[in-house]
Structures are given as C-alpha cells and as structure tokens.
Structure 1
Amino acid sequence: MEVLIDCYFDKLFEEMDRSCLASRYKRREMVDYFSDVINSCSRAENLDKQDVCERIVMSALRYHNITMMENGHVCLLGKFHNVLYVAAKLCFDWNLNNNEIVSRLLNDIYYCEKTFERILVGAIFGTRVTHFLSGWKSDFEDREENLRALLYFLHHATLGKLEYRCTFTPVKRRFIDIPMESYGQALPLRVAIQHGAPDILLIMLRYGASVEPDRLAPSPLEMLLNKLSEYDAQPGQDRIVYPEQLLLCLRLVLRTVSSAFFKTPGHIAEQSGVFSVSIYEQYPTLVEQKLLPPERSGLSPPELRHLCRCRIRETLFENWALPHGIRELQIPESLRNYLDLLRD
C-alpha cells in the first residue's frame, strides 16, 4: 500500500498547476479528497484509518523533500510547499497521534518559513483578518478550530521536544516562542497581548511562553502596563475605565511573574547607578487604581504560594512537562488548577 500511495500521490501532483493550492478552498478540496481516500482504503483493505492517514502525510512530506532536494535544498514554494498545509489539516482532522510524523511536518514548515505564524494567527485574530494581514486564509474553519489546531500542534511540539534556531538570538526557541515574521519578528505572546486576546494568551502562558524582555521589545507585563497607563478618566468619571480584555490579559500575566521590578535600560543604569525600578514607582496611578495587588507591585512581598508556583512551573518547563505534567502531580485538583494558571 505504501508504494501504491506514493506513486498515486506523485502522479496526482504532477498533473496539477504550480499555483493549484494557493487558494484555501483548493487546499480544502484536496483535504476532502484524501479524507475520502482514507475512508475508502480503510474499508477496502480493512486497515486502521490512522495508518492510512500516516501513509498519506508521509507521502506529502516525501514529495516536498524530494522536490526541495532536486532544487538544491531550496523550497520551490507553490504547490510544492502548500502540500505541507494539506498534510497539517489531515493530521488535525484525523487527530494523528504519531508524534514522529507530526514533528517532521513542523520541522519541514520551519525549515522553509522560519516561522509558524500560519498556524498561530488564525487562533489570535480569527479567520477573516489573516487574509488582509498575511495575504492568505487560514486552513482551519473558524477561530475555535484554529485554537484547537494550535493546541494540537503545541502538544506535539512539546512531546517531540522541538527547538529551533532563530535569526535574532543564538538561543534555541520552542514552538510557542518562534517570532512571527509578518509582524515585525514579534513573539506570538506579544501579538496576542497587542490584539487583546486573553483566551489565546492563557494557552500560550500555560505552555510556558516567555514573559521575559528581549532586545526587540519590553516584557509582556511592561507592554500591558504601558497600554493601560495611556488611559485617562473621562469628564464626569471618578475612576478610569479600562478595557476588560486588557485587564484580563494583565491578570493572566501576573500569575506568571515572580519579580515586581523592571530592569533599567543599560545606558541609564550606567549613568544613574539605578539597575531596577519597582512597579509601583514606575506606574503609581495603576497601583492607586488597584489594578496591581500589593504583592505584585513591590509594595508587599509576593505570597509564598505564588513563588512556589513560579518555581514549580519553571522546573516543569525545563523538563518539557508544561502543562500536561501538572495533571500527573499527586496534589489536590485545586492546586493543579492553580499551577496551570487556571485560577488565582
């Protein structure tokens, strides 16, 4: 069956135009076609559907790799690359659980694109916006399906312990921290914050997305506090009215931050000798508005329970056990939810 599918796959794609998979509806037609093949083969040959799906996905990876090697290890793009997204949709639709194959698929996507934004942006922005921002449409049906697809690939990337070298840093990054090229090399977590999407932000934080600053941008917490500090009280109002989505994002990020201090920029630190500033000194208005609890603003020491959460999550992250390893801990369910950032 393997040789038969490979030959059939090659013949099918040889007859197709280079741009045949540029449109989402064409990719979906191809996914539907292969889904029919999976159902037909499993009935006719009495085979497991997962096995047939594996074989088709492997044929797609083989086709992509052969055409790339024949071109000096440079992807030919067009149908030769978009076949990977047909394979990705098949993996998700059939819940392919072969981690080796899904990891190979993610590695091939990154080798050609140096980003995973085509998997990420549909979950962040929904399906309509992606076409205007990136010039293509998400392969998944709606934002809900995009979220589930992101969770699927996040799970496999974690299970496969996948790390990638990025252009602007010598340190390898995990799937959830790969910069998004079409968005100024911003990390996905920062894009989610800019868009004000607490649901996708929670998913990213649960999987250990970085909340540290880098040379391109401040920390996510600073981003949120800067955005909130731009709001003023309207005439006739005693208090400032902040967007609820931003407040939700702030509460989620505060669950992951142990330190209540920001590092002073290097050139300022050298001149002033001040190497860090507390949150309540930097954003006194936000503290007065009680957007930041005393334990997170530097006015009071953080709770021991919170410090334990941060340290345990750090250890789980280092061992590729976030978030699913939390469920294996022999602790009460309420503490599992607390460690998993599902509650304060």
Structure 2
Amino acid sequence: KTLAAVAPTIYHALKGRGCLVVTTNDYLARRDADSVGSVARFLNLTVGLVESKSTTEERRAAYACDVTYVSNAEVGFDYLRDHLAYASEDAVLRGASFCVVDEADSILIDEARTPLVVSERVDAPFDKYDVARRLVEGALRRGRHYEVDLKKQAVTLTEDGYAECVGILGVEDLTEPVGSAWFPFVMNALRAAELLERDRDYLVRDGEVAIVDAFSGRVLEGRRWSDGLQQAVEAKEGLAVSALTRPAATVTFQALFGKRLLCESLAGMTGTASTDAAEFESVYGLVVAPIPTALPVARKDYEDAVYATVEAKWRAAAAETWRAHQQGRPVLVGTASIDDSHKFAERLLETYGLAARVLNARPDAAAEEGEIVADAGRLGAVTVSTNMA
C-alpha cells in the first residue's frame, strides 16, 4: 500500500505545485519521508516533513517542497492557524495540487466529524475547580446524588445531588449568576471523576495532562479538553490548574478534505475501504477500487470466545499467547488501554516468565516505537500494545 502511493505522488509532484501525503501520526509521516521519500529525492524532487515539534519556519519550508509528509492533525491545525494569521507572510501552507490520504477510513470516516479547535486563553477561577473536586470526592455518591451512563458518556445530577450541592456551597441556585455559576464546575468535576480514566483517556507527564487518542492510542500533542473539562482533570490529579481556553477557529476533517480546502484533487488508500464505499462516494466524491491480493489470504479467522469474567478472559488470552510463543510464532496482543497493556505484560511475566515488549503512549514506550515495531515480527517475539500498533 505504501509503495502503491509512490507513482501518483511523484506524478503530481512533477507538476511543481506541491503534493501532500497525509497519514495518521508523526511516526508514519517520518518513516515514509525517510524511506519512500528517497524515491522522490532520487528524482531531484524536494521532500518535506511536518511533525508536532516542527517550528513555524520548518513548517513553511516543508510545505514549500514538492512532496510533504504530514499527519492529519498537524495539517489541520496549520490550516486553522493560517486563517488566524494577520498577514499572508505568516501563513505556512500553500495550495497543493494533490493530496493522498493514508489510512483513509480512519481519517475520512472514523474521525470525519472530530473537530479540530484552535483556542485562545482566558482567565479561570482556579479555586472553584478545587472546591468542586473536593465536593465530588467527599460528599456526592453515585446512584444517589448523580447517575452515570457510560455508553452515552454522560453524567446526570439528581434532585438529591442538586440539593446537596446547593447546601454545601451555600448558594440558592447552581446556575446563577450567569458567567460565574457553580453548575459547570460541579458537572466537569463529575465527568473527570467518572468518565475519564488515567492511563486510558489521558496521561500525566511533566506536571501536565496529555490527552490520549481513543482511535490510535497515541498522545494528542497540544490538544486540550474545552469548556473547563481540562481544568477539572488537572484538579482531580492534584496538578496546577491551567488557564481556560476559548475556541478561536474550528474545522472538521470532513470539511477539510471533502471541500478540498487543502488541495485540488484527493485520493486515499486503506485496507478496509469496501464497507464504506457508499460514504466515500457521497461525501468525498471518491470511488473505491478494490485491489485483490497477489496470493490467497493465509490468515485464519476463528469464532469469538466469550468469557463470564474479565479475569477468565485474561487467563485464556495469556495461555494462548504462551502456546503460540512456544511454537516460535510472533504474537501481537491488543489491549484497550495503557494500563491494561502493562497489566497483561506483567501477567505474562509472573505466570510464564515471558518478557513481552509493551507499546503504548507512555513516553518511555513511545520513544522506542520504531524499534518495537521492527522487532515485533521476529521469531517468538511477544508485543503487547494499545491501538498504536
């Protein structure tokens, strides 16, 4: 798939009007710029790379190249920042003639309506976040004072809960006065406590809260929750509460690519597009062309196994991992959260003496991503990973 993108990328780059290769994260953008980009360099074409750590000047220079490798988040935020720039010389993007999206189903379908938001900072009533945290942790009880719907990711304050908050806070109405009411602080403290889990939804590193992407399992560098939720999580973790943010500009990937805001022509590639063919055509005007495999698919798909408890499921998964390892087969174990990945690796070590490599968004593991992925297919290798893999 990666090699298949070379021909159309080179063809459009030779027109001299820029070509974007958009993928899901910095790691893939950097990998492709280093490896596949060598073809473009061999043909005397310039190759640029945009990463989260790139400066404004580096971004401008990268986008000016014949071929630019960049993640969907970075190019989206650059588009927003360019529209907030006061002068044209402060912008970094240029209109590209062609854009090819890798993992098109993830970017154009799964994350299509995920808003990218550039915010500006405003003053925040820091003490209220800590008061709301102590109220939730010390006085409110689930099932009596509030209800939690994990499926809908919603928390609802009951009448008893409302009365309890009013009494403790010494106010008559949680929704008054407008602009400084207690209600949003209490609700955000409840959401932070009940809906957001450390090492699953976010990490704490260097005294700051870093959001973990539910789709990829990677840290969303520079992203923050809005409407006071970021500050509520910081208070929950005992960190210094940061300033509030207010949206200054926003765009979705569906608008960015569907309306051709970045390029004149668009293409995509993925291993799982056929099921979304109708949506690709209706929303993006893209026709899905399936390419058959060169050889028959060797993978065997077995029936799902359902267990009564999580413990039973983990025991069976560990036993199956050990069995495959004994045969010398490389094994990849997928987990739903950062915490689960470490717990499963510890189980393998304690039960079978099997040392597995762990790949997740924690800084120590993420720094070794390239090495872990390169070694994952070796004889007898066992890798435990979140969605990053």
Calculate the TM-score normalised by the size of structure 2: 0.21
Normalized per residue, which structure has more strand?
2
Larger RCO: Structure 1 or Structure 2 (Cα < 8 Å, ≥ 6 residues apart)? Answer: 2
Calculate the TM-score normalised by the size of structure 1: 0.23
